[in-house]
Amino acid sequence: MNQRKLIYLDNNATTPCDPRVVDAMLPYFFEKHGNAASRSHQFGWEAEDAVDYAREQIAKLLNVEDKEIIFTSGATESNNLAIKGVFEMYAKKGNHIITVETEHKAILDTCGHLEKQGAEITYLKVKEDGLVDLAALEAAIKPNTILISVMWANNETGVIQPMQEIAKLCEKHGVLFHSDATQAVGKIPTHPRELGVHLMSFTAHKMYGPKGVGALYVSRKNPRVKVTAQMDGGGHERGMRSGTLNVPGIVGFGKAAEIAREEMGKDAERLSKLRDHLEAELTKMEETKVNGNVGSRMPHVSNISFKHVEGEGLMMTFNQNIAVSSGSACTSASLEPSYVLVGMGLGDDLAHSSIRFSLGRFTTQEEVDQAIELVRNGVNHMRELSPIWEMYLDGVDLSKIEWTAH
């Protein structure tokens, strides 16, 4: 193998931009470079029309009204706008927000920020399979609860939360429901209105669109939700998000949404077969464990722990032939174990030994087969070198060993 082609299995970090998306964007950099807020000439009108069309394409994917889509710079901003915006807008109603320990940092850190401003935040634990405990969620609701924020699908495990049931609880208790749906939109059906989700964050670059553009869905009726703007300026996006719109990015986002609507079914079917094949082959090895509820999971994701194999080390054996993420160093340069996996009750060792494989629209069967081979060889190699693995094979109960020297 001297002609090396890097196999990209890290689509949950970001997806490549679909070439059809790039084609749609190109005219908006030069010929049609107008500012969508310029009302007095052709350039402005053209840009505004393009933004309107993209808004329609995105609204269609979600089955919502165009006006319910607020463009942002990405899901991080959408999450900030949703949570801070609701906290400020509904301050008279209460200050309590419920979220979950395994949320993305864009949710957790935003909540942390609000705690300093007087918010009361409940961080729910998840069950071992990564799902929210609905009884615990309901028990956490109080008279001053204004918002429940639960992600649609987890970025590390692909676990899909029981959205319908959570929405029902929100409805029953008159609490707003926000979801960070970044990993779900464009890959599985996500229809916030039908489900009872009132605010929903997502981003183009996780659904084969460009980076730097995202959106927040904000329900306009039953209930009519408002969020306080987090940026002051020209009052764009119905006053909720000021700033000149990223027209080429939005055009690409719209195209990505249109393609997703047409192709997500067939993509999901193909990818779940490939993912299942990858998983079946890799779990043939001893002491492997799939993390997260396999019955409620995104079709293209597999998070696997290879016991007694350190994930970052395993990735080095791939010699830059496969791009994946490990359960270490997901959020920082330090080798902290993934808080998502630890939150699901995995010990630090199992969290460190986990690898996230996330397939995408451009992943081929051949790449998956090559990846299986590389991972298998890597795991075997690491275990052959490991005295701990030898002890395991000798039947030593590793949990009973006193490791520190006295």
Ligand X SMILES: *Cc1c(COP(=O)(O)O)cnc(C)c1O
Cis peptide before 223 (omega within 30 of 0): yes
Q: x/- site string to ligand X, residues 214 to 253, per CB under 6 A? A: x---------------------------------------
- Tell me how far, at minimum, the Cβ of 307 lies from ligand X, in Å: 27
DSSP 8-state code for residue 120: E
Contact pick of 84, 104, 193, 307 for ligand X (by CB under 6 A): 104
Cβ atoms of 140 and 112 within 8 Å: the answer is no
Residue 17 among the catalytic residues = no
Binding to ligand X by residue 151, rule CB under 6 A? Answer: yes
Binding to ligand X by residue 84, rule CB under 6 A? Answer: no
Residue nearest ligand X, Cβ-based: 74
Binding to ligand X by residue 292, rule CB under 6 A? Answer: no
Binding to ligand X by residue 180, rule CB under 6 A? Answer: yes
C-alpha–C-alpha distance, residues 91 and 78, integer Å: 19
Count of C-beta atoms within a 10 Å radius of residue 219 = 21
Distance in angstroms between the alpha carbons of the first and the last residue of the chain:
48
C-alpha–C-alpha distance, residues 153 and 202, integer Å: 11
In the block, tokens 């999450």 appear at 79
For ligand X (CB under 6 A), the number of binding residues is 14
Nearer to ligand X, 227 or 330 (CB): 330
Region of 176-184, 271-279, 300-308, 351-359 interacting with ligand X (CB under 6 A): 176-184
Q: Pick the catalytic residue from 17, 111, 170, 330.
A: 330
Binding to ligand X by residue 322, rule CB under 6 A? Answer: no
Region of 84-92, 157-165, 203-211, 299-307 interacting with ligand X (CB under 6 A): 203-211
Nearer to ligand X, 214 or 252 (CB): 214
C-alpha–C-alpha distance, residues 101 and 20, integer Å: 37
C-alpha–C-alpha distance, residues 293 and 213, integer Å: 31
C-alpha–C-alpha distance, residues 301 and 303, integer Å: 7
Q: Helices 247-282 and 42-62 sit at what angle, rounded to 10 degrees? A: 30
Contact pick of 50, 62, 69, 106 for ligand X (by CB under 6 A): 106
Query: Which residues are near ligand X by CB under 6 A?
Result: 74-76, 104, 106, 151, 155, 180, 182-183, 203, 205-206, 214
